[in-house]
Amino acid sequence: MKKFKLFIDNEWVEPEDGKYFTSYCPATGEPLAELASASANDVNKAVQAAKRAFPEWSKTDGDVRADLMMKALSLFKARIREFAEWEAKDVGKPIKETMGTDLPYAFRAMEYFSNLGRQIRGNVIPLPGRSALCYETYEPFGVVGSIIPWNFPLHIATRTICPALSAGNTVVLKASSLAPITCSMMAEIFLEAGYPKGVINIVSGSGSVTGEAMLRNDDVNMVSFTGSTEVGRRCLHSSAETNLKKVLLELGGKGPFIADKDCLVSDAVNSLIIGFCFMQGEVCCASTRAYVHKDIYDEFVEKLVARCNAIRLGDIMDPETQMGSLIDENQFKQVDKYVKDAVADGAKLLCGGFREMDAPMDKGYFYRPTVLEVASNDLACVQEEIFGPVVTVKKIDNFEEALELSNDSVYGLGATVWSENYRTLLKATETFNAGIVWMNTNVMSKIEASYGGNKQSGLGREGGVVGLMEYLKCKNNVLYTGPRENYYGFED
């Protein structure tokens, strides 16, 4: 069984108190690796290493930083199958997804942000009177703490640390204790690529100890957190109570999906299914509230139920498997409780709603795709994030009603609309209170474009040029070039 120490200052070091924890495969229950549990002092050691490395790294030429990341990318690609298998086993997702999504997205983040980092530029600001040269420059914050979730460890880790490093920051990365293996493995890549000591540090441990220590460390200048809205609030509290570090948050969601009467029904159904079944529905931007026009409702729901029942669950290492296991027993219990409570509250269970127990699924937490028909938008299953393969469907009379119901949520991450009328699509983009709007597609997240939400779905954006700029602070520089100034009329 693999064993990972803490990666601090380009060395593998034992945790201060000698504690380790075991990561298990959600799909089989088998132990996969032991990882060090970082204490608050361990986290501080990583932070101090990053702090020491920052002055030189921040002044390193952008091309040099980019070339290092491209070298790391080359090493990463050479181990694609190894990383894909570990990612699948640690998260419980199908190998088809890690090979087709997780690894390619991680590779693209490294390539995209390394090259974007070569082009960081400022602005010259024309001032009235032309008595001063005013220009803006962009500088790295310093030490960035990156705290990532368990659903897409490699994808989300690279989406955050790559722009941070390319902008000249140093990093302390902490993965979820539920799926930490591949992030610790990444340290091997950065070490072999030749990154200077302290530029990238990777620690493992619980959120309550390791994560909290990062949030409360005064030498951490910025935190990027992806996870629940509840913990996002904790990040803001910690920032307010300590050094007012910048906080970038990508939080929960409850994505609406509108199928208008003129949409391509079959295509829209397929789009909804990937929207709430991909990664077992454990996706913040999942489409989990479907509003379907009454004229196509029966056809839509009939196809939806039939296709959900046909999705293949099973051995996650089989390339034919389409859905894997929920992350752990707690997540299974949460999902199942939402479904049972919804039925008790009047929702109609159209399919799914149970855990598969046939071999080889009997030792995991494989939950069938679940469709709940609802009459009210106020049910908990409609309003609260379930984080599993569960979607609610509601019949609507018109498009305006669907838009109103879509915005009736505390979340505002992703929103989807299907129609063959471009006016309908454009109206939706103007009306949705969401960070991302998908038209006649779904959950399409690309590194080149921004990703993030409104309302309780987060603050700031990851991805694209906007995402790179999140890791830079703006400085206004003013050089006076006019006549001598003597505001108070002093004599020379």
- Short-list 378, 372, 306, 320, CA closest to 343: 372
Which residue do the tokens 């070569």 mark?
Answer: 118
pTM over 0.75, yes/no:
yes
Cα–Cα distance, 44 to 142 (Å, whole number): 15
Task: Give the span between the Cα atoms of 20 and 17, in whole angstroms.
Answer: 9
> Which pLDDT score, from 0 to 100, does residue 143 have?
98
Could you name the CATH architecture of 255-439? 3-Layer(aba) Sandwich (3.40)
Helix (H) or strand (E) holding 158: helix 153-166
* Burial (0-12, 13-18, 19+ Cβ within 10 Å), 440: middle
Per-residue pLDDT tens digits for 242-251: 999 999 999 9
Paired with 374 in beta bridges are none
388 neighbors 367 (Cβ within 8 angstroms) = yes
Region 185-197 average pLDDT: 98
Catalytic-labelled residue, pool 25, 235, 263, 284: 284
273 φ/ψ angles, rounded to the nearest 5 degrees: -65, -45
Distance CA 166, CA 114 (A): 6
Enter the tokens of residue 161: 């640390």
* Non-local CB neighbours of 17 within 8 Å, separated by 6+ positions: 37, 39
Q: How confident is the model at residue 37 (pLDDT cuts 50, 70, 90)?
A: very high
Which residues make beta-bridge pairs with 393? 290, 373
In three-state secondary structure terms, 338 is: helix
Task: Output the CA torsion 168→245→410→264 (10° steps).
Answer: 0
Q: What is the sign of the dihedral through the CA atoms of 259, 261, 267 and 270?
A: positive
What is d(CA 165, CA 169) in angstroms, rounded to the nearest whole number?
Answer: 5
Mean pLDDT, residues 353-359 taken together: 97
Per residue in 385-409, pLDDT tens?
Answer: 999 999 999 999 999 999 999 999 9
Which residue is listed with tokens 């999705």?
311
DSSP state for residue 209 in the 8-state scheme: I
Q: How many CB atoms lie within 10 A of CB 18?
A: 8
With a CB cutoff of 8 Å and minimum separation 6, the contacts of 426 are none
Closest by alpha carbon to 152, among 396, 451, 375, 470? 451
SS (H, E, C) 57-114: HHHCCHHHHHHHHHHHHHHHHCCHHHHHHHHHHHHCCCHHHHHHHHHHHHHHHHHHHH
What's the confidence (pLDDT) of residue 353?
98
Evaluate whether 40 touches 57 at the Cβ level (below 8 Å): no
Q: Bin 31: left if φ > 0, else alpha if -120 < ψ < 50, else beta.
A: beta
| N-to-C CA span, the chain | 78
Domain boundaries, the chain: 2-251+457-477, 255-439
Phi, psi of 60 (to 5 degrees): -65, 140
250 is catalytic: yes
User: Which pairs count as long-range contacts for 162-165, CB under 8 Å and 24+ apart, including other chains?
Assistant: 162/69, 162/109, 162/110, 162/112, 162/113, 162/114, 163/113, 163/116, 163/117, 163/462, 163/467, 163/468, 163/470, 163/471, 164/140, 164/222, 164/224, 164/471, 165/65, 165/69, 165/113, 165/117, 165/199, 165/200
Residue 74 has pLDDT above 90, yes or no: yes
Mean pLDDT of 266-287: 98
Architecture per CATH, 2-251+457-477: 3-Layer(aba) Sandwich (3.40)
What pLDDT score was predicted for residue 386? 98
For residue 203, CA distances in Å to 181, 186, 466 come to 11, 11, 27
Q: If you average pLDDT over every residue of the chain, what do you get?
A: 97
The pLDDT of residue 256: 98
Provide DSSP, 446-459.
-TTS-B--EETTEE
CA 352 from centre of chain: 27
230 part of the active site: no
Structure confidence at residue 171 as a pLDDT band (50, 70, 90): very high
Q: Would you state the pLDDT for residue 356?
A: 97
High-pLDDT (> 90) share of the chain, %? 98
Catalytic residue among 87, 250, 356, 462: 250
Q: Which helix (H) or strand (E) holds 21?
A: strand 20-24
Mean pLDDT of 434-441: 98
Sheet bearing 390-396, strands edge to edge: 348-351, 370-373, 390-396, 287-293, 255-259, 414-418, 436-439
pLDDT at 130 over 90: no
DSSP-based three-state secondary structure for 134: strand
Confidence grade of residue 492 (pLDDT, cut at 50, 70, 90): confident
